[in-house]
Amino acid sequence: MQHSSTATRPKINALQVLRAYAALSVMLGHGILEFHATKGTAMPFNEFPLVAGVDIFFVLSGFVMFHTSTGLWGDKRAPLRFWRRRFIRLVPLYWLFTSLMVATLLLLSRHVRSTEFDLWNVLSSYLFIPSERPGGRIAPVLSLGWTLNYEIFFYCLFGLCLRFDRRRGLSLLIGGFCALLAFTAIFPPTFTPLRFWGNSIILEFVAGIGLGLAYEQGRLRPSLALSCGLFLLGGCLLVAAGDTDLPRVIKGGIPACLMLCAALALPARLDRAMPRPLILLGDSSYALYLSHRFVLRSVTLLFGAIAIPAGLEAYLYVATTLGGAVLLSILIYTYVEAPMLRLLLRRPRDAQPAPASSIRPILQADSPPC
């Protein structure tokens, strides 16, 4: 039986705000790296590990997949239904930006940094197969899509496990992840996809599932003080562990879990009062994640062509890239992503309409990859 908070809060606005925070963190982190690579100078506030927003997305993905799949366990048709929804939610927009990146490499290659055109890398990017670039890095042609390769791997296994009852399915999923990590640790593979998937970061999805169970069982009591405390603790741990050699699943995953707990512990009345612009930014977070590299590079080229006082350059760069990326992501979400989702999620007339609760989470509470 689900905890009552699950029934009374079908849409958790705090999760959308957390998604917005994660996407903005990744964008700012990449902006700092871009600025440092082109100017050779460090930005203020670059000590905070902003790119750890990816870990939030992974933990949040595990939570949301568990939270929105309650009625699917044990249904033989569940894997196909689940994969269809995942494909619609993730793939078309990702393919769009992958195609834009390919076109950029073909037409404007001299303006692209650290990415070369390679036919197998392009094909494997569309197929979500981890592959090495010419330089040896395991990443798709749209480099930030490496997270999508983990997400798709998780969705494939999660969907397969939906064929079983929940206890058996989750046991198989978690056991499979642990077996994969053990195997790759004992027998380091040379096969690139196996090397990529056998990273302990995949345990962040498991952590999200664990938080989903805790939330369902009512173990996260609503409390503003607890919510604020958990979020601050997560931020402090990120800073403290940022320069250590700890595995990312620890120095990024544990803070991400604390921040997700903070969102879930927010009292319902405060959750309902979340400002609409923050929720809209959360809705646009997938578009922000996929598009922000294009904005960063465009602004970098612009700043290289005009004279800007050195003392103001870093701050103007942050303001310009942040404003431009946020505006572009909202436009993409409003005029491309949302209409496309409505069109693709529309069921045939002769089919029985899906209940609103099965579609609403995909549009508003589903965690996109980053």
Q: What is the pLDDT of residues 196-242, one digit of tens each?
A: 999 999 999 999 999 999 999 988 889 999 999 999 999 999 888 87
Beta bridge partners of 138: 132
Task: Report pLDDT for 310.
Answer: 67
**Quick one: 77 exposed, middle or buried, by C-beta within 10 A (0-12, 13-18, 19+)?**
exposed
Confidence of residue 1 (pLDDT cuts 50, 70, 90): very low
State mean pLDDT over 167-183.
Answer: 96
For residue 167, give every residue at least 6 positions away whose Cβ sits within 8 Å of its Cβ, in sequence order, or none: none
Confidence of residue 38 (pLDDT cuts 50, 70, 90): confident
Residue with tokens 């905070």: 48
* Calpha distance 53→234 (Å, rounded): 12
Higher-confidence position of 21 and 370: 21
Each residue of 125-163: pLDDT tens digit? 999 999 998 878 899 999 999 999 999 999 999 999 999
Residue 348 has pLDDT above 60, yes or no: no
Contact yes or no for 141/121 (Cβ under 8 A) = yes
* Calpha distance 274→259 (Å, rounded): 17
Confidence of residue 366 (pLDDT cuts 50, 70, 90): low
Mean pLDDT computed over every residue of the chain: 86
State mean pLDDT over 341-357.
Answer: 59
Higher-confidence position of 10 and 292: 292
Higher-confidence position of 337 and 28: 337
Task: Report pLDDT for 280.
Answer: 95
* Calpha distance 155→55 (Å, rounded): 16
pLDDT > 90 in the chain, percent: 67
Residue 64 has pLDDT above 80, yes or no: yes
Tokens coding 175: 């056991």
Confidence of residue 44 (pLDDT cuts 50, 70, 90): low
- Structural domain boundaries of the chain? 9-48+275-346, 53-273
Residue 2 has pLDDT above 50, yes or no: no
Instruction: For residue 138, give the 3-state DSSP assignment.
Output: strand
Contact yes or no for 56/21 (Cβ under 8 A) = yes
State mean pLDDT over 23-32.
Answer: 89
Confidence of residue 45 (pLDDT cuts 50, 70, 90): low
* Calpha distance 347→358 (Å, rounded): 12
Instruction: For residue 143, give the 3-state DSSP assignment.
Output: helix
